[in-house]
Amino acid sequence: MQKKNEQTMSRIYDSAEKLFSEKDFHDVKMEEIAKNAGVGKGTIYTYFKSKEDLLFQCLNHNVEEHQKGFYEVVNSGKDFKSTLPNAFDFMYAFFKEKAPLIQRIMALLPKLKLSETDIKHCREMFLKGLDISSGFFQRGIDEGILTNSMTSRQIAIIFQKMFDFNVMFAFYGEPEMSVEDCYRFFTKTFFRQE
């Protein structure tokens, strides 16, 4: 029974993420999500309180898997300098996938009715990701590759924000930075000058 529930949830997430990424929030109907997921509308409400809750949960969906994948990339056993391009590729791909959804949430944020529990959960997830990134950047500082003018957590926050910029650029209709542009910006800013 558990596997069936996981499969149902997966289909709902897939349907909702696709529709929320393609359409304005108010144009997405729960009936359409249900139909595309192959479930009844009522089934969605057994998992989610509202359309707003479903949208928010779509953003959180797979974040733990993403964090685990990022952890594996940055702890691959290679030195910091060899690992850094892989870290950029991984984050770039993740944000590329989630960007349309993030844009929708940004547009709705003032109107979304999020509970304190949702906000706390989201913050905890972001802090966990920050811990993984900051540990990686501390290695770069310890290996003498990165400047120590900022803490590893500050560098990790800037690293994350570089990918957020692409979401903002798309939101405002500006061309995005390529992964190579992001990498160049980062290395010029944080690599020690030789």
Instruction: Indicate where the chain has its CATH 1.10.10.60 domain(s).
Output: 2-50
What whole-number percentage of the chain has pLDDT above 70? 95
Mean pLDDT of 24-52: 90
Q: Name which CATH class applies to 62-190.
A: mainly alpha
The pLDDT value recorded for residue 178 is: 92
Whether the predicted model's global pTM rises above the 0.95 cut: no
Q: From start to end of 43-190, where are the E strands?
A: none
- Using an 8 Å Cβ cutoff, are 191 and 164 in contact? no
Asked if residues 189 and 124 have their Cβ atoms less than 8 Å apart, the reply is no
Q: What pLDDT does 119 receive?
A: 76
Give the separation between CA 135 and CA 148, rounded to whole angstroms: 14
Residue 154 confidence (pLDDT) above 90 = yes
Q: Is the pLDDT higher at 163 or at 105? A: 163
CATH number of the structural domain 2-50: 1.10.10.60
Residue 3, pLDDT score: 53
* pLDDT attached to residue 38: 93
- Say if residue 183's pLDDT is above 90: yes
pLDDT per position as a tens digit, 77-118 = 999 999 999 999 999 998 888 777 777 776 776 677 777 887
Task: Confirm if 41 and 16 have CB atoms less than 8 A apart.
Answer: no
| pLDDT confidence of residue 109 | 66
- Rounded mean pLDDT, 154-160: 93
Q: Report d(CA 111, CA 56) in Å as an integer.
A: 12
Of the given ranges (13-22, 31-40, 54-63), which has the lowest mean pLDDT? 54-63
Spatial distance between the Cα atoms of 141 and 61, rounded to a whole number of angstroms: 32
* Residue pLDDT, tens place only, 87-97: 999 999 988 88
